[in-house]
Structure 1
Amino acid sequence: MKKLVLSFALMMAVFATYAQATREIEDINEDNSWLKLGLNMGVPVGDIGDFSSFALGLDVAAQFMRTDNFGLGVASGYTNYFGKENLPDFGAIPLGLMLRYYPEPSGFFVGTDVGYTFLTGDIASDGGFYIRPQLGYHNYDWNIFAFYNQVFTSEPWADIQAIGVAATYNIRFK
């Protein structure tokens, strides 16, 4: 997993390096910055799949297009993991850095969120580092993507892994 994280981070750095025109944070406007709101749903995999059968959540992010192709921002939200049979539900609240590469103004994109996830409910950990690589399709208003999410907890058997799909709507800053 460490090799995957390192490879993905290196790929994002290369994309950012080849960018031509960069924008400064003072240049935020409705053409290069927006709020993303959406829903996600996933299936827990790995050991956590023994305790939860389904995950449903809300995504919220603020994105700034540093170049025409590279976006960065902050990501958060809430995902509820529904417990199997008589097991309790638990929740995940991520707080992370969002990185996206858009080769074209409309079409496919790659990205990742990295940061810390706070866990709520009856679970063996309070949280841990997370990574959420994504591959999807975007246009002016929407992003639809598949993702893999992993939260690395202090108890390796309690790591939370899920695969899923999500859709977010872009609300433009005015």
Structure 2
Amino acid sequence: MKKLVLFIGLLGLSPIFAQETEIDITPDNSWLKAGLTAGIPVGDASDVSSFNLGVDLRGQYLFNPNLAIGVASGYSHYFAKENFEDFGMIPVAGFLRYYFTPNGLFFGSDLGYSFLTNVENNDGGLYLNPQIGYHNRDWNIYAFYQNIFAENDVDLQSVGVGVTYNIRFK
């Protein structure tokens, strides 16, 4: 079922990528975002972990002043509670963001697959990461709710904050 939801989600994004348009990448419409995240596990993850820290890496293309697409990855390390082991997750996702103004509020979401590290009998699963935040030309500060619908009916969820710096392509 989870793979079907991922397949349908990717089909929904395919018209965005299938258009035959000439893309001119400039420092005004494309950049790399690099930053840090911190979160508190909720749901199943809160049973075994009390805190998570991560790095966030993104490549973004701005279609117009309001709509952006891109690819996202990174790593989040979950610090285990007593009698459990630390584990991590590595997402590979596409994302969509809507910017209301050149400086100000934005919202968006990542959709993809997340690999789990140091977890027995579970390679990962469907990854969803909606965000709302503030941005300017150089920085993004946001709140997120992250959910991994992993194998064996395990849902790893966390809520937190992140900050990224925009590195312009030249």
Query: TM-score normalised by the shorter chain: which range applies?
Result: 0.7 to 0.9
Counterpart-to-counterpart distance in 1, 2:75 and 2:45: 17
Counterpart in the other structure of 1:119: 116
Counterpart in the other structure of 1:130: 127
Describe how 1:61-100 pairs up with structure 2 within 5 A: 61-100=58-97
Counterpart in the other structure of 1:171: 167
Deviation for aligned residue 1:25: 5.5
Counterpart in the other structure of 1:140: 137
Q: Evaluate the alpha carbon distance shift between residue 123 and residue 142 of structure 1 in structure 2; reply closer, same or farther with a 3 A threshold.
A: farther
Counterpart in the other structure of 1:40: 37
Superposition misfits of 4+ residues, deviation over 3 angstroms: none
Q: Evaluate the alpha carbon distance shift between residue 54 and residue 140 of structure 1 in structure 2; reply closer, same or farther with a 3 A threshold.
A: same
Counterpart-to-counterpart distance in 2, 1:170 and 1:53: 30
Q: Deviations over 1:70-89 (max 9, x none)?
A: 00000000000010013110
Identity within the alignment, % = 55
Counterpart-to-counterpart distance in 2, 1:63 and 1:128: 24
Flag structure 2 segments of 5+ consecutive residues without an equivalent. none
Q: Evaluate the alpha carbon distance shift between residue 153 and residue 138 of structure 1 in structure 2; reply closer, same or farther with a 3 A threshold.
A: same
The answer to whether residue 107 in structure 2 is matched with residue 110 in structure 1 is: yes
Amino acid at match of 1:56: L
Flag structure 1 segments of 5+ consecutive residues without an equivalent. 17-23
Q: Evaluate the alpha carbon distance shift between residue 150 and residue 25 of structure 1 in structure 2; reply closer, same or farther with a 3 A threshold.
A: farther
Q: Deviations over 1:37-96 (max 9, x none)?
A: 000000000021010000100000000001211000000000000100131100100000
Counterpart-to-counterpart distance in 1, 2:44 and 2:138: 36
Counterpart-to-counterpart distance in 2, 1:134 and 1:140: 18
Amino acid at match of 1:171: I
TM-score, L = length of structure 1: 0.85
How many matched pairs? 157
TM-score, L = length of structure 2: 0.86
155, 158, 163: which one aligns with 1:162: 158
Counterpart-to-counterpart distance in 1, 2:70 and 2:109: 11
